[in-house]
Structure 1
Amino acid sequence: MIAYLRLAALVAWLLLALLLHGLWRLVRARSPWPRRFLGVSAWLFGARVRVLGTPLRRDAVLLANHLSWLDILLLAGASGCAFVAKAELRAAPLVGWLSTLNRTVFVRRGDRIGVADQVGALRTALARGQPVAIFPEGTTSDGATLLPFKAALLAALDPPPPGLMVQPVRIDYEPAARALAWVGDEPGTAHARRVLTRRGTFVATLHFLEAFAPTGDRKAIAAEARRRILAAGSEADAFPVERAPCP
């Protein structure tokens, strides 16, 4: 029953947000409704957002850990960012079209030949000023482990556009992380059903860490962002700081 109630509320909210978005576009004003739609949608799924730090609102790349598709709703609602997503999402019914409203940058994962085009698309998106979020782990984790960061797309920051900053973001759903994380080979529909049918609410903490200027090569940028997210996690007893093995 709770899943049907949430879906009904989501459809009603979508129709209202599309109407308001159309009115804003009619007068050629910049529409806040894609961001607001995503943020309220996270609330409908039970998320109660706690924001630590100050999200950069423009000229920024946000590098965040990744647990679930809920991350997209939460990050966009809190910061107004666009996202880098796999190209297959663009063809998904409704979801692909909605993604274009928030200026999603679509890339083909694993396409080494097309990396230059992907980097060019990201640089074009950054030129608009809207912050762009990347999940550099490349997949979702269980919320207790921070996976290695993939740095290919960060070639767009070498050299960095003038004035652009990198802001690491730590996403934490504890103690509900294991119940909400999308890991392993679980089909997307099964994960969505699991989130929809989960009763009650949960606290989603978005920790916007101190931003830094992207100096050095792409691997250095990725390593610095990952180091800061790990350090923030160790303060909250999550993502324990990795130590070198004993000799």
Structure 2
Amino acid sequence: MAHRRLRAAASAVALIVAVVALAPVQMLMLRLGRPSAETIPLRFHRLALRIVGMRVRVIGAPASARPLLIASNHCSWLDIPVLGSVCRMCFVAKSEIADWPVFGQLAKLQRSIFVDRSRRTATAAVNRQMAERMAAGQPVVLFAEGTSSDGNRVLPFRTALLGATRNALAASGEAAVVWVQPVSIAYTHRNGLPLGRLGRPFVAWYGDMGFPRHLWSILRDGAIDATVTFGEPIAAEQATDRKRLAATIEREVRRLTNAALLGRPEEPARPAEDVA
């Protein structure tokens, strides 16, 4: 037990050093409007996963077509570095995160889009921000369930923020379609052993779990394996029904997640070009 606490403490110190070293650089790049402001978060997420001891298996790749909305399931705060380590992207996050110590600032440095899901009037403004990012060529990640699960299932997808696809078409002025790509995140192993239905909730972060205690348990209890599966992107037009689109994406994410949890992840039929 002592060596696990020591490992956790060493990992925590390494993460703090990484944040202290990279945060001022990212602030400067954002202020100057440099392209590296999109690359630094990618490097940070990859470094953070190495420090924590996470391994990510990626099946398929982010679509090269633009504008692109990535619709994913959501299990844990770990989903951010797991997906963020794959390619340059920005996230739609709940508004409370903006006020978190340290992690709120990190989310702002990655130019996350914050949404207050308790206010319906906020949806239109968030959709506009998402559309502007997509029209500018940046993939936007939407955790379409609107909350996190225990890692064993995919919750119903919400439809409101999928309306950003229409805004993106208007904002781009040229694109005939917006591509919506289903993505699955599945946590499969810890210290080389299958997590199973009883083990996955300890990796997931959901309900009223306290963040500091959960972070400490992740640092303390060893390596985690995650599988990220990129499905085939779906073209969304102005006339596309967002409820049907959400149902289609949800079914595909659920299928890919179940396959990964059962140890039989599926390769996509036509792998897309990596944009990392």
What TM-score do you get using the length of structure 2 for normalisation?
0.78
3-state SS in 1 of match to 2:132: helix
- In structure 2, do the counterparts of structure 1 residues 221 and 159 end up closer, same or farther at CA, with 3 Å as the change threshold? farther
Of 185, 197, 200 in structure 2, the residue corresponding to residue 171 of structure 1 is 185
Map 1:84-123 onto structure 2 (within 5 A).
Answer: 84-123=92-131
Whole-Å separation in 2 of the counterparts to 1:63 and 1:121: 16
Whole-Å separation in 2 of the counterparts to 1:224 and 1:191: 33
In the alignment, structure 2 segments of 5+ residues that lack a partner are: 1-5, 170-174, 189-193, 263-276
TM superposition outliers: structure 1 runs of 4+ over 6 Å: none
State the partner residue of 1:36.
Answer: 43
3-state SS in 2 of match to 1:66: coil
Deviations along 1:78-115, whole A, 9 cap, x unmatched? 02110001122222233222212211111111211332
Q: Compare 66-75 and 52-61 and name the one that shifted more.
A: 52-61
State the partner residue of 1:54.
Answer: 61
State the partner residue of 1:133.
Answer: 141
- In structure 2, do the counterparts of structure 1 residues 234 and 11 end up closer, same or farther at CA, with 3 Å as the change threshold? closer
State the partner residue of 2:153.
Answer: 145
Deviation at 1:33, TM superposition (A): 0.8
AA paired with 2:220? T
AA paired with 1:188? F
Aligned residues of 1:47 and 1:204 also touching (Cα < 8 A): yes
In the alignment, structure 1 segments of 5+ residues that lack a partner are: 239-247
2:13 is equivalent to residue 8 of structure 1: yes
State the partner residue of 1:230.
Answer: 254
Query: How many residues in Structure 1 have an aligned counterpart in Structure 2?
Result: 238
2:214 is equivalent to residue 191 of structure 1: yes
When the two chains are superposed, the root-mean-square deviation of aligned CA atoms in Å is 2.3
Aligned residues of 1:105 and 1:125 also touching (Cα < 8 A): no
What TM-score do you get using the length of structure 1 for normalisation?
0.87
Q: Compare 102-111 and 36-45 and name the one that shifted more.
A: 36-45
Whole-Å separation in 1 of the counterparts to 2:27 and 2:167: 37
Q: Percent identity?
A: 35
AA paired with 1:171? I
Deviation at 1:25, TM superposition (A): 6.1
Aligned residues of 2:70 and 2:182 also touching (Cα < 8 A): yes
Of 190, 211, 230 in structure 2, the residue corresponding to residue 208 of structure 1 is 230
Whole-Å separation in 1 of the counterparts to 2:108 and 2:259: 37
